[in-house]
Structure 1
Amino acid sequence: MSDFQPLLDYIKTFIELTKEEEAYFLSLLVLTKVKKRQFIVQPNFVCQHMNYVREGAMRSYLVDDKGIEHTIALAIEGWWINDCNSYIFQEPATFFVQALENSVIIQLSYQSEQLLLANIPKFERFFRITARCEVATIQKRVLSNISQSAEQRYEDFAMRYPALLNRIPQYAIASYLGFTTEFLSKIRNKKLKKG
């Protein structure tokens, strides 16, 4: 199996590709190994790649003016991660994107994406569908943050993303859900006592 096969299989659930189109697309991709704690995006630098997690786990976060980290997104195998505003508008990034484990990512550069869209317009459909799914996910998260208690947010997260609970560090999960690691520990202990 090709290193790019999981991404190719995912794309083929949305669009059909000829062998020639597939070969062209694959020629634009780069496989990159990322060590635990290594950054692939940092503030003030333009995000040059779309990043598909082939193996491992990553997170994007920002640091506020008080030095507090706020996790924006988490990603494991089969998920995309980057600083979307920086990538789309080719402006300096706001977020850090960091490996939480030794990881392997498949990267498509901004320039390569432009070539891909010019040469195989059906990729517009793929990117449109995935962007709409991302917007829906973000909307659900915002709604959850303003309408659910911390306990409900954690339970919803645990139900939707059970694979993340034992792989993602507790500080990153807590930050993603909008509370401290200590508060997350209290919620988990309370749940264990009930359970």
Structure 2
Amino acid sequence: MHHPVSSKKSLIRYVNNFVELSDEETHQLESSFEEVHVKKRQFIVQPGFTNMHRAFVVKGAFRAYVITNDGQDHTLQFAIENWWVSDFNSYIYQHPATLFIVALEDSTILQIEYNQEQDLKKSNHKFETFFRIMAEKGLAFEHRRILFNLTNSAEARYENFLLNFPNFVNRVPQYALASYLGMTTEFLSRIRNKRVKKS
């Protein structure tokens, strides 16, 4: 029987950056996550359904977005390898989701179910610490993103994204990147063309 531990190595490496796990704790963490293969264009979260899982991306790319009442589509998050993706508001409070989360490529994720995460945290302060650090990092990241978007021009927002997330640029569709940066696709094309002419 194939044991999917190999795909869990990247998760264990990631967690060990924040807390040092013993062999027993490593085994406990691995057995709490399930490997799931997701096809391109498949949704892992949809509005109206409670988001039961937190997902760690082993391979692939995802986009989280919301559709407003007037039909506008706003990208809130991208995730590629070693990123987490979820409708965190729905997951943390176990309320119906407001986001769509879709695979941009054929992907592999490791997911943990809400109650299993609670059990892990109760069982060992290292797991409690790890998930607290994830929450703090996520909150700080969103805070920086909102402040940067409010105080900088569209060009600066694009430059900043290129600088900080070069791996994302060729993996996400241009319309999705434009909506993430708060601009139209046409405007993003103009900025990109200007950059090409300069270089």
TM-score w.r.t. structure 2 length? 0.96
Q: Following superposition of structure 1 onto structure 2, how do residues 121-160 of structure 1 map, counting pairs within 5 Å?
A: 121-160=125-164
- Please give the per-residue CA displacement for 1:57-94, whole angstroms capped at 9, x wherever unaligned: 00100000111110000000000011001000000001
Q: Aligned residue for 2:181?
A: 177
Determine the C-alpha separation between the residues in 2 that align with 1:162 and 1:2.
27
CA displacement at 1:164 relative to structure 2:
0.9
Amino acid at match of 1:129: I
Amino acid at match of 1:145: N
Amino acid at match of 1:31: E
CA displacement at 1:46 relative to structure 2:
0.2
Q: Aligned residue for 2:166?
A: 162
Determine the C-alpha separation between the residues in 2 that align with 1:158 and 1:16.
32
Unaligned runs of 5+ in 1: none
Unaligned runs of 5+ in 2: none
Structure 1 runs of 4+ with >2 Å offset: none
CA displacement at 1:119 relative to structure 2:
1.4
Q: Aligned residue for 1:107?
A: 111
Q: CA RMSD in A?
A: 0.9
- Please give the per-residue CA displacement for 1:108-149, whole angstroms capped at 9, x wherever unaligned: 000110111121222111111111111111111101111000
Determine the C-alpha separation between the residues in 2 that align with 1:25 and 1:52.
13
Determine the C-alpha separation between the residues in 1 that align with 2:118 and 2:143.
28
Q: % of aligned pairs identical?
A: 50
Question: For structure 1, which segment, 37-46 or 15-24, has the greater mean C-alpha deviation from structure 2 after superposition?
Answer: 15-24
- Please give the per-residue CA displacement for 1:151-172, whole angstroms capped at 9, x wherever unaligned: 0000000111111111111111
Determine the C-alpha separation between the residues in 2 that align with 1:152 and 1:16.
38
For the residue of structure 1 that corresponds to 2:7, the secondary structure is coil
Amino acid at match of 1:56: G
Amino acid at match of 1:86: S
Q: Aligned residue for 2:18?
A: 14
- Please give the per-residue CA displacement for 1:9-40, whole angstroms capped at 9, x wherever unaligned: 11011112221111111111100000111000
- Asked whether 1:48 is paired with 2:48, we answer no
Q: Aligned residue for 1:23?
A: 27
Amino acid at match of 1:54: V
Determine the C-alpha separation between the residues in 1 that align with 2:168 and 2:16.
26
For the residue of structure 2 that corresponds to 1:156, the secondary structure is helix
